[in-house]
Structure 1
Amino acid sequence: MPNINQQISESNRLPAAAYLLTGCVAIVGSNSLVLGPIAPEVAHAFGSTTSTVMAATAAFGLATATSALLFARHIDRLGAWRVLRASMAVLALALLSSAAATGVVMLSAAQAVAGLATGVALPAIYSNAAAIAPPGRESRTIGAVLTGWTLSLVAGVSLSAVLAQYVQWRAVYAAVAVLAAVAFAILSYSKHPRAVAAESAPMPTEALKIPGVTPLLIVCGAFMSAFYGIYGFLGDHLHNGLGRPLSANGFAALAYGLGFGLAAFLDKFVDRVGPRRTMPIALCAVGAIYLCMALTGAGFVGLLATVFVWGLVNHIAFNALIVRLTAIDPARRGTIMGLNSAVTYLAVFAGTTGFGAVYTSFGFIASAILAAGLTFVSAMVGAFARKGQL
């Protein structure tokens, strides 16, 4: 009996490597989200404007999408752990360069290098998470890794404003650089499977021919465009639309992050129900939440509660999507997840650009309705894909 109980206990544990991957996601996510809150301080230091400084974010997003599209396909050939280790080293150097930047051009160049590292780091992380997951616990393992985004939102975004205000904005990038260097050191001294693909890395267009990949990428594009379209302008709506202080943006990020993190406790239900069934249902729920935002957009407390639930359900939908993508072809996970990252970061551009025009012309309610429409479309595509019709 003791041996049986011990085996059951060990089978219920997540692999220790999952927590290392969670930390890597938190580091990558912190750099991805950190510039927004400190942009006014950076602009003041450079004698520039906030909108000009945010060009660094555009450079980061474009470089991330390009890297994911062109280089992530080599993850399977080189080994996901080896690629992750190298990307953490490059990211640490890029963050140090960001901290030392003397102007917008230098900051944008440094963030472009960070984007090149991120474009292969995230697919490598998700590939590793799927590879180390015990059978039947794929959703819980990947869900635990995804909580790194919660850490980046709750800790990274919140603490960045404090460091920028009471120390200096350069300390923010320096602190994340130290964390990236620590991750690189741990990865260097840790032993992980070095399984690599026997065949050469396929072109991304070849991966699109794999059955099931294209419809799930369509789901990703519509889903993430809606997310970034709302998240990108939620802060402006709170500040200028509802007349709330800038600190309210921190509360919104905290509410979303807490919801996203607490959803990790629900990942076991995704394993039980199955990601094929869960994803369309979760996406419909996200669409309904956007409609709720349209109804509660004029009230701060109601909107904050809706944002919390938004984070909760978004985690479930995103988790199910990643589980489905990583399960399609284990031998080509890196290539497939590279396409996923490319679509995601192109959605950053498409979402903020497209929703920017809608938000400026028609306001937050119209943006929320548009987000609901896109998410319902993604749910329909996911449902048809489940039935084998796409």
Structure 2
Amino acid sequence: MIGTLDSLSRRRLAGRRNMSTSSSDTVTSQRSLHGLLLLLATIAGVSVANIYYNQPLLDDFRKSFPESASWIGVVPSMTQLGYAAGMLLLAPLGDRFDRRRLILLQIAGMCVALLFAAAAPNLVVLVFASLAIGVLATIAQQAVPFSAELAPPSGRGQAVGTVMSGLLLGILLARTAAGFVGQYFGWRAVFAASIIALIVLAAVIISKLPHSKPTSTLPYVKLIGSMWHLVVELRGLRETSLTGAALFAAFSLFWSTLALLLAGAPFHYGPQAAGLFGIVGAAGAMAAPLAGKFADRRGPRAIVSLSIMLAAISFVVFALSGTSLIGLVIGVIVLDVGVQAAQISNQSRIYALKPEARSRVNTVFMVAYFIGGAAGSAVGAFVWPLFGWVGVSIAGLLFTAAAGLNHMRGRPEPAAASGTAE
């Protein structure tokens, strides 16, 4: 009898130890995932910042290369063009190769391009270096789908939101950092400092970031071509891409005309005022993880619906308070939160559509996103001189209405079963 009781006691103790070990492993796993997501957020922010470093330095470029002063504006244009090309040609490789290795290779290439930019003897070298910087800055487009791969399905939205917050902060703080370093140490020091930051980041990646498992064996040309087949196959990808494009068109419409509004009566502010509004946009970066968490709990479609309503409300605020600085600030916060929450929720949804093709579906979504942004900027350039700020606000409402109608036409789509990539 005593022996039996002793045996039962030992079993209970062993069971408690096992439960304790299991709980400890879960906490460790959660902490490990959180650390990896913060690292991926840093990777996204530090890499994408390189696209925006040159924007506050244009006057310094003009002073360094006075013989090419009329062509200085080509530098940021080539950087953006390079980023678009990199999204289309490099970002899909995350399905074919280890993302960790791709990130490290792109960082190495970025350091070389930044070195050429820092030492550029003329504008031609700086322009081509900027093109390469843009292409390689698509490291960020490896980090975002990597986060979806690492996280469990129930936490995918929050994971994507965490990494996107890093990317957004990189965009917001890049101009401020470049302006500060450029003012006190010269524009070449900005690129040199970025090289140092990337080398430190690479060392952390080698130490901490795990390898990813390739999900496709397609040759490169077929890998790129397969994106069209994904568009045809996945209704949810088409819906989210069109919704995202329309919302980003509204977003770009606003930001491309804000400086014109602030330059006129009754504000008469310089271009730096529009830049300060970018700091207000940090609300979107702070809201990103929350949007992802709500997308996990309520479903991404519900969050996108709410986000579209917020974006529409922001343009109503703009129309009614075009001469009120407080109204503009409120509208910027509402617009930024709405657009960023919609992007994160849409990305959370598309990553579940075809897990073995996450890099490619992300590329399709982001290319559509930037096409929408270009369309919004073009509409702003047309509407502003003819109809002023009220016309811009109405155009923004029309874009958000288009996003809402497209979103309403869609319906929940079950994720495709994971499997071997085509």
Q: Output the TM-score relative to the length of structure 2.
A: 0.83
RMSD, aligned CA:
2.6
Q: 1:233 to 1:387 in 2, by over 3 A?
A: same
Q: CA deviation at 1:23?
A: 0.9
Q: Tell me, what secondary structure is at the counterpart of 1:386?
A: coil
Q: CA deviation at 1:9?
A: 4.5
Q: Which amino acid aligns with 2:229?
A: E
Q: CA deviation at 1:383?
A: 2.7
Question: 8 Å contact 1:80–1:127 — kept in the other structure?
Answer: no
Q: Which amino acid aligns with 2:257?
A: F
Q: CA deviation at 1:82?
A: 2.0
In 2, Cα distance between equivalents of 1:297 and 1:96: 44
1:176 pairs with one of 174, 177, 194: 194
In 2, Cα distance between equivalents of 1:278 and 1:10: 30
- Name 2:354's counterpart in structure 1: 329
1:73 pairs with one of 73, 77, 92: 92
Can you list the C-alpha shifts for 1:224-277, whole angstroms capped at 9, x where unaligned?
222222223323432345212444233211110234324434532221111022
Question: 8 Å contact 2:107–2:136 — kept in the other structure?
Answer: yes
Question: 8 Å contact 2:292–2:341 — kept in the other structure?
Answer: yes
Q: CA deviation at 1:381?
A: 1.4
- Name 2:233's counterpart in structure 1: 210
In 1, Cα distance between equivalents of 2:60 and 2:215: 46
Query: Are residue 149 (structure 1) and residue 167 (structure 2) matched?
Result: yes
- Name 1:137's counterpart in structure 2: 155
Q: 1:189 to 1:237 in 2, by over 3 A?
A: same
Q: 1:227 to 1:28 in 2, by over 3 A?
A: farther
Q: Which has the higher contact order (CA 8 A, sep 6+)?
A: 1
- Name 2:130's counterpart in structure 1: 111
1:46 pairs with one of 65, 68, 72: 65
Q: CA deviation at 1:320?
A: 0.3
Q: CA deviation at 1:202?
A: 5.3
In 1, Cα distance between equivalents of 2:239 and 2:40: 27
In 2, Cα distance between equivalents of 1:99 and 1:294: 44
Q: CA deviation at 1:132?
A: 0.9
Question: 8 Å contact 2:99–2:211 — kept in the other structure?
Answer: no
Q: Tell me, what secondary structure is at the counterpart of 1:243?
A: coil
1:385 pairs with one of 378, 398, 410: 410
Q: Which amino acid aligns with 1:261?
A: M
Q: Which amino acid aligns with 1:100?
A: A
Q: CA deviation at 1:191?
A: 4.6
In 1, Cα distance between equivalents of 2:72 and 2:202: 29
Query: Are residue 89 (structure 1) and residue 121 (structure 2) matched?
Result: no
Question: 8 Å contact 2:41–2:164 — kept in the other structure?
Answer: yes
In 1, Cα distance between equivalents of 2:75 and 2:36: 32
Q: Tell me, what secondary structure is at the counterpart of 2:96?
A: helix
1:160-309 to 2 correspondence within 5 Å? 160-200=178-218, 201=223, 203=225, 204-211=227-234, 212-240=236-264, 242-309=267-334
In 2, Cα distance between equivalents of 1:64 and 1:154: 17
Q: Which amino acid aligns with 2:365?
A: N
Q: Looking at CA atoms only, which structure, 1 or 2, has the larger radius of gyration?
A: 2
Can you list the C-alpha shifts for 1:176-213, whole angstroms capped at 9, x where unaligned?
23222322332233351331124313512122123122
Q: Which amino acid aligns with 2:150?
A: I
2:339 pairs with one of 314, 317, 321: 314
Q: CA deviation at 1:353?
A: 3.0
In 2, Cα distance between equivalents of 1:79 and 1:73: 12
Query: Are residue 64 (structure 1) and residue 97 (structure 2) matched?
Result: no
Q: CA deviation at 1:137?
A: 1.1
In 2, Cα distance between equivalents of 1:276 and 1:26: 27
Question: 8 Å contact 2:245–2:373 — kept in the other structure?
Answer: no
- Name 1:159's counterpart in structure 2: 177
- Name 1:351's counterpart in structure 2: 376
Q: Which amino acid aligns with 2:269?
A: R
Q: Which amino acid aligns with 1:350?
A: A
Question: 8 Å contact 2:300–2:349 — kept in the other structure?
Answer: yes
Q: 1:11 to 1:257 in 2, by over 3 A?
A: same
In 1, Cα distance between equivalents of 2:291 and 2:179: 31
Q: Tell me, what secondary structure is at the counterpart of 1:297?
A: coil
Q: CA deviation at 1:165?
A: 2.1
In 1, Cα distance between equivalents of 2:59 and 2:216: 49
In 2, Cα distance between equivalents of 1:106 and 1:320: 40
Q: CA deviation at 1:379?
A: 2.5
Runs of 4+ aligned residues of structure 1 deviating over 6 Å after TM superposition are: 48-51
Q: 1:319 to 1:255 in 2, by over 3 A?
A: same
Q: CA deviation at 1:138?
A: 1.1
Q: 1:154 to 1:60 in 2, by over 3 A?
A: closer
Q: Tell me, what secondary structure is at the counterpart of 2:94?
A: helix
Matched residues, number: 387
In structure 1, runs of 5+ residues without a counterpart are: none
Q: Tell me, what secondary structure is at the counterpart of 1:284?
A: helix
